Chains A and B, each alone.
Chain A
Amino acid sequence: MIVLSCGVNDYKNVTLSGKIDKDIALFKNIFSRDAVLRTREILIGEGLRCYMIFMDGMVNSAQQGETVVEALVEANLPNDCEVNCKYIAQNILFANEVTETSKLPDMLRAILYGDTLLIVDKNKTALTINTKGWRTRGISEPDSERVLQGPREGFDEAAMFNLAMIRRKLLTPDLCIELMRIGRRSDTLVFVCYLGSLANQNTVKELKKRLEKINIDGILDSNYITENIRDNKYSLLKTMGSTERPDIVAARLLEGRIALVVDGTPVVLTLPYLFSENFQSDEDYYINFTLASFTRALRWICFFITVSVPGVFVALVTHHFDLLPTHFALTVAKLRVGVPISSVIECLSLVLAFEILKEAGLRMQQNLGHALGVVGGLVVGQAAVEAGIISAPMLIAVAFSAIAGLMVPRLMSAVFYLRIFIIVACAFLGLWGFFVLSSLFVIRVFSLKSFGVDYTESFARPKFQTLKDTFFRAPWKFMKTRPMFNKNRFRKGK
């Protein structure tokens, strides 16, 4: 009989019979279409039958041989007491983690996650033995969050190792790690991490509530979760943080935030997320505050430049010639002669071309990516200007805007759309369009929330302590308080 199911929870009403032939048939039936399931019968002592069930490639064979097979084969059973799972776990197995369970979903999970399941004749329970041995990528510096100074380690795809990396930075029993399983078919492990004394428990409850509501086949990356639980689902702006660096997660936890570690992805989510976090870099805290403050301010300026420069330039050359210095106006006019497309189409095309180059460069091998940048940016750009397809000032404006955009990578998607909207608004209404759209954007940003916390909380009541880590990075001496959403605001308190 083939049992069709979508997840391990479908078997919650099934139990072991205690008859080993029947039970092993059950497992073989469940995994009847799985070619990598392995079973091995072992006789303990003078004839107690047991079966090891595991997935090939998921277990550490050497560890399994030493801690399970060797122990079972060489075991001598006593005559004076009943041998059951509990006895085997306590007296025979060498494995460091052995759990007895009577629930079939837990047994299936163990098999699927690289553990060895041991079912014993005449027992309605089974033992799950930790023999996980799947390969991981290992610790490496994340490409998207490189630093010149500071820790170089990044998460990999195994949640347990990621949790260990966080734990290594926060050696405190206050670190709470709660397990949830999400995904009807993938049954992905999701860990909710927070510091019990700092995190707002209402936010933790709200997060768990939202996680429980997720109804999806599988979670293959943390973004599956982000899109399901974030506030303002259709907003261009991130309302949940993401990082691949354990030091950032630890720092966020120390601010009273909550981290979501999802198995199978190196991207860890943090929440609540504030608008000012888009402009923060982990390196800001590893270098001198003067330089960090300068680069922080530069990021804010670059955000303004990247969204506004192409639009404002279009507004100036199509609506407000009077605002251009005369010689510049003449130069622009001179260099635009012969360009077959209007300024606004020219600008939109260049923005699109840059996005194509960027996307193509990201997907290429690293060496080819550089070549693509040189050919696309320099050669094609220069040729297009010389051919009179585009004008040099517009190319400079868009290129400058694009380079400035790289300073705020966390706002990349928002910046792209905002830039396009501003260009269109400026083409229609000139600088009025720019101011109207900018105002709408500011209103929108101030209306956003992240798990009940105002997205622009730092700016709501501007004081030194609330702004100390926004436009600039104050010295640690003055970092006296945690963010306002925190229940324990004073860093030097308990």
Chain B
Amino acid sequence: MKKLFVLPLICFVILLCGCADYREIDKGYLVTSIGISNQENTTSIFVEALSSSDVISKEITRVVLTETGKNLKEAYKNLQASLVKPLYLEQLGAVFLENTDITPLSEIKQLKLDVYVVKTNSAKALFEGETISGVLGYDVISLIKTQQKNTQNQLYKIQNKNQTLPTVDFLNGKMVLSWAKENDK
């Protein structure tokens, strides 16, 4: 008789979890890179995402989404509120920081720990510029991996907020990744 209750009980316990974290891969923006710009007490967030929402053409389209707020948390919240689909950060490749250190990144809860953190002098220019492969985040990761000088800029490897990070910018229309010299650390 006891066994009769075990199965419904297990089902009930499973149902309690309510399909925790269930999402459909095509029902959101697959974020590939995020830019954070901090200027005059205003934080701007730039999000590069790939969207597969085009039902007719069934093509993947690259979109750059921007929003501002008092801090990163607010900017990110405003951005999410303005979108019709959620942001999926699982495929996030790189985060670009302009005039800020890594401290505000803790305000985005879903951020992956293996994401590459790179500094930039102009996040806006970076996101609006022409990319090599079509996806900014993966261009930067390719550059980092190709140069192989230092891969200590993944979020979980960063020791402290003052750690020197590589910088990426457009110079004469070309994306250039520069590394700090060893004695600069």
**Which A residues lie at the B interface, using CB under 8 A?**
317-322, 324, 326, 329-330, 332-339, 342-344, 424-425, 427-430
Q: A321-B25, A337-B54 are in contact. Are A330 and B19 (CB under 8 A)?
A: no
- Give the distance in Å from the alpha carbon of A344 to the alpha carbon of B19 in the complex: 11
Proximity string of chain B (21-59) to chain A, C-beta cutoff 8 Å, 1 when within and 0 when not: 111111000101000000000000000001011110011
**A322 CB contacts on chain B under 8 angstroms:** 90-91, 112
- Give the distance in Å from the alpha carbon of A317 to the alpha carbon of B14 in the complex: 20
CB pair B24 A321 closer than 8 Å: no
- Give the distance in Å from the alpha carbon of A77 to the alpha carbon of B19 in the complex: 90
| Pairs across A and B, CB under 8 Å, 20 listed | A318-B22, A319-B21, A321-B25, A322-B90, A322-B91, A322-B112, A329-B25, A329-B90, A333-B26, A333-B50, A333-B52, A334-B59, A336-B25, A339-B26, A343-B24, A343-B25, A427-B19, A429-B14, A429-B20, A430-B21
Q: A317-B24, A322-B90, A429-B20 are in contact. Are A337 and B55 (CB under 8 A)?
A: yes
**A344 CB contacts on chain B under 8 angstroms:** 22
- Give the distance in Å from the alpha carbon of A330 to the alpha carbon of B61 in the complex: 10
Main secondary structure of the interface of B (DSSP, over half): loop
Contact of A318 (CB < 8 Å), options: B14, B15, B23: B23
- Give the distance in Å from the alpha carbon of A339 to the alpha carbon of B55 in the complex: 9
CB pair B52 A336 closer than 8 Å: yes
Q: A326-B91, A329-B91, A429-B17 are in contact. Are A319 and B52 (CB under 8 A)?
A: no
- Give the distance in Å from the alpha carbon of A335 to the alpha carbon of B17 in the complex: 29
- Give the distance in Å from the alpha carbon of A321 to the alpha carbon of B56 in the complex: 24
Q: Does B125 contact A (CB under 8 A)?
A: no
Q: A320-B90, A332-B25, A429-B20 are in contact. Are A337 and B58 (CB under 8 A)?
A: yes
- Give the distance in Å from the alpha carbon of A339 to the alpha carbon of B112 in the complex: 29
Q: Does B88 contact A (CB under 8 A)?
A: yes
Q: Does B138 contact A (CB under 8 A)?
A: yes
Q: A326-B138, A428-B14 are in contact. Are A334 and B22 (CB under 8 A)?
A: no
Chain B nearest CB, measured from A60 CB (Å): 53
**B52 CB contacts on chain A under 8 angstroms:** 330, 333-334, 336-337
- Give the distance in Å from the alpha carbon of A424 to the alpha carbon of B11 in the complex: 10
Contact of B60 (CB < 8 Å), options: A317, A333, A339: A333
